[in-house]
Amino acid sequence: MPPTIEYAVVNPATGETLKRFDAISDDDLRDGVARAHRAHEEWNRSITVADRAAIIRRVGELHSERKQELGEIIVREMGKPIEQAVGEVEFCKAIYDFYADNAEELLADEQIKLLDGEGSAFVRKSSYGLLLGIMPWNYPYYQVARFAGPNLIIGNTVLLKHAEQCPESAAAMEQMFHEAGIPKDAYINVYATHDQIEWLMADPRLRGVSLTGSERAGAAVAEIAGRNLKKVVLELGGSDPFIVLGSDDLDATVEAAVGGRLENTGQACNAAKRFIVVDELYDEFLDKFKQALTAVQPGDPSVEGTTIGPLSSSKATERLAEQVKRAVDSGANLAAGGDHDGNFFRTTILTDIPEDNPARYEEFFGPVAQVYRVKDEEEAVRLANDTPYGLGSYVMTNDSDQALRVADRIDAGMVFVNGVGAEGAELPFGGVKNSGYGRELGRYGLDEFVNKKLIRVVG
């Protein structure tokens, strides 16, 4: 892991450094671990599930009450357009509400029917202990909600290490958790370095780690966790296919394709990135898609109505520009865009991408779309699965039998049929292959860091 990081708010629209935050000292981090470990017993044993759920509900209410202020923070931190930023905060409330509403049912004892019929047995769900959350910059509030919300209700305690470019939103969340009633030692925000995270993960008091981030970060964390026998949930990158097999309304399909690609300025792990279109629809789709996508121009993220803003940082812009250049140098056709002004990257389309082009197997984190022509359903499925990633996928068809047939064959953690933006607090989120393992949200997200304890009564 890199030795040092700096926590700072650097406005990606202007490049101006607005605030700097000190990294936590080794002694303070060790003290935080000790306090969070000690807090687990009282938080888990002395407070009921219902009471913990009520506190988490209040966390959601505070998000809603402060949504404009919170939205403006992440506009400054990572350039999200303000309407999307506020929408992210509103989605967080839905997540906190879901777990508050359903916690007692989801954590209820599960009776087991015994084969011999003697005595009884059941599984009791109890807390795991102290957890570490390592969060990314692209959804600063949402990622924390889906990790911290359920785990605090379960009775786990949390150390939260946010992305280095999101220190202000991290501090705002810690304040809301404490204001809502979470004990100060049960949720601790830590501006930790990579070196500190490595020795922290070796601490026997830490029971589990949840990371959302890059494939490289996931591999590093999984390696350290494996050496130290720590449970890990990894939500990593994706290069999600958007498969167009049929449509009764191609304009609506194109609208969904544009929306699926440009959410969060294209910086979403589960964004539609590879558009795979059957031959008979390809030319018309590409024409309409190009017209609609290039009509969206980057704008000031602080202004209402802006669809895409700047990329999150100069480093992100340089990386994306290098990927596009490498794709074109390796034989891809640059059908639109490809350039940028500062961190404002124009919407871009790549077509005619050869099989040996590295672009086929990389994740493009920004408003760059790859469009592929295939002859039939079989080739579409093969191409969709020809990726190291397996997070989400989208299938567009007017044939219901085909929809389920193709969904069954997609090697991914999620398949959305005839729609984008259909995620929900109750729906599990996660992937396979290099997109990670484990799930967040819904009942499956709650089950990740739970001790499913068997209690067997004989006689």
Catalytically active residues are 235, 269
Query: Quick check: 257 and 288 in contact, CB under 8 A?
Result: no
Q: In a 3-state reduction of DSSP, which class is residue 126?
A: strand
Pairing type for strands 416-417 and 394-396 reads parallel
Site of tokens 């992440």: 74
Query: How distant, in Å, are the alpha carbons of 402, 408, 417 from that of 206?
Result: 46, 38, 40
Q: Collapse the DSSP code of 252 into the 3-class scheme (helix H, G, I; strand E, B; otherwise coil) and give the result.
A: helix
Whether the CA torsion 170, 171, 175, 176 is positive or negative: it is negative
3-class SS of residue 233: strand
SS3 assignment, position 155: coil
Q: Where are the alpha helices (DSSP H) in 228-310?
A: 250-262, 279-294
CA dihedral (220, 225, 226, 231) in degrees, to 10, reads: -130
What phi and psi values does residue 432 have, to the nearest 5 degrees? -130, 180
Most distant pair of Cα atoms in the chain: their distance = 75
